[in-house]
């Protein structure tokens, strides 16, 4: 469950297809990058890119959560704004993502978790693993200095998370899997 979320779209009159016109926001959760849609309280001031409380009690801007949505339900504006908000969210949680890089291990004999990150490549991965074995990374800046070919580590995570939200990945590293995968029975 998400307690906070970033506003990635604000529709003051709701969706055009809605019969009942009510203000709606599309949100990106801060913890699991969950896509949500919610209604807005009448006296609330909504600003794109603002972090709002979406927990159970004491919401100031959000009236109620309509539900979780898939990437294809986002408006075009939300899809365009999503990468910049993800960049902001990843930078805010830099310690978590650096920890991921410091602790990522092999998945199988042939595949490493770092192989799943777009833009890493074999040479960058080898350099990253070599530097990591000397000393754990302390920040993205530390990573950039020690592995200079990785100029935009935040962008690598942004691309991976967008791909996961779009449902293009088989394995989910950062995003809660879509509904269809959650409900799939395992025999």
Are 172 and 110 part of one and the same domain? Answer: yes
pLDDT tens digits along 115-127: 999 989 899 999 9
Q: Is 81 a domain residue? A: yes
Are 82 and 104 part of one and the same domain? Answer: no
Are 142 and 175 part of one and the same domain? Answer: yes
Residue 70 has pLDDT above 90, yes or no: yes
pLDDT grade for 179, boundaries at 50, 70 and 90: low
Q: Show which of 87, 107, 124 is a domain's final residue.
A: 87
Phi, psi of 54, deg, nearest 5: -125, 10
Q: Is 187 a domain residue? A: no
Are 57 and 29 part of one and the same domain? Answer: yes
Q: Show which of 43, 70, 87 is a domain's final residue.
A: 87
**Mean pLDDT for the stretch of residues 70-96:** 97
Are 33 and 83 part of one and the same domain? Answer: yes
What's this model's pTM, rounded to 2 decimal places? 0.91
Q: Show which of 59, 87, 115 is a domain's final residue.
A: 87
Take residue 140 and report the two structure tokens written for it. Answer: 């993205």
Residue 182 has pLDDT above 70, yes or no: no
pLDDT tens digits along 56-67: 888 999 999 999
Are 98 and 175 part of one and the same domain? Answer: yes
Q: How many whole angstroms separate alpha carbon 151 and alpha carbon 144? A: 6
Are 76 and 121 part of one and the same domain? Answer: no
CATH number at 55 reads 2.40.50.140
Domain that holds residue 100: 93-182
Q: How many whole angstroms separate alpha carbon 95 and alpha carbon 100? A: 9
Ordered DSSP codes for 3-64: SEEEEEEEETT--TT-SS---EEEEEESSS--EEEEEE-TT----TT-EEE-SSS--SSEEE
The structural domain count of the chain equals 2
Residue 167 has pLDDT above 60, yes or no: yes
Q: Would you say 35 and 26 are in contact if contact means Cβ atoms under 8 Å apart?
A: yes
Are 104 and 62 part of one and the same domain? Answer: no
Are 54 and 80 part of one and the same domain? Answer: yes
Are 33 and 101 part of one and the same domain? Answer: no
Are 99 and 151 part of one and the same domain? Answer: yes
Q: Would you say 161 and 175 are in contact if contact means Cβ atoms under 8 Å apart?
A: yes
Are 83 and 150 part of one and the same domain? Answer: no
């Amino acid at each position: 469950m998400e307690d906070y979320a970033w506003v990635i779209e604000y529709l003051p009159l709701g969706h055009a297809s809605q019969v009942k016109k009510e203000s709606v926001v599309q949100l990106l959760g801060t913890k699991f990058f969950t896509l949500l849609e919610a209604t807005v309280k009448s006296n609330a001031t909504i600003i794109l890119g603002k972090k709002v409380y979406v927990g159970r009690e004491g919401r100031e801007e959000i009236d109620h959560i309509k539900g979780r949505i898939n990437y294809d339900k986002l408006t075009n504006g939300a899809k365009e704004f999503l990468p910049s908000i993800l960049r902001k969210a990843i930078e805010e949680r830099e310690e978590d993502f650096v920890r991921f890089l410091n602790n990522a291990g092999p998945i199988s004999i042939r595949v490493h978790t770092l192989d799943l990150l777009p833009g890493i490549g074999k040479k960058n991965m080898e350099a990253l693993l070599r530097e990591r074995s000397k000393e754990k990374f302390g920040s993205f800046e530390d990573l950039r200095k020690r592995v200079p070919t990785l100029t935009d580590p935040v962008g690598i995570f942004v691309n991976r998370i967008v791909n996961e939200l779009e449902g293009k990945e088989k394995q989910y590293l950062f995003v809660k899997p879509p509904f269809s995968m959650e409900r799939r029975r395992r025999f």
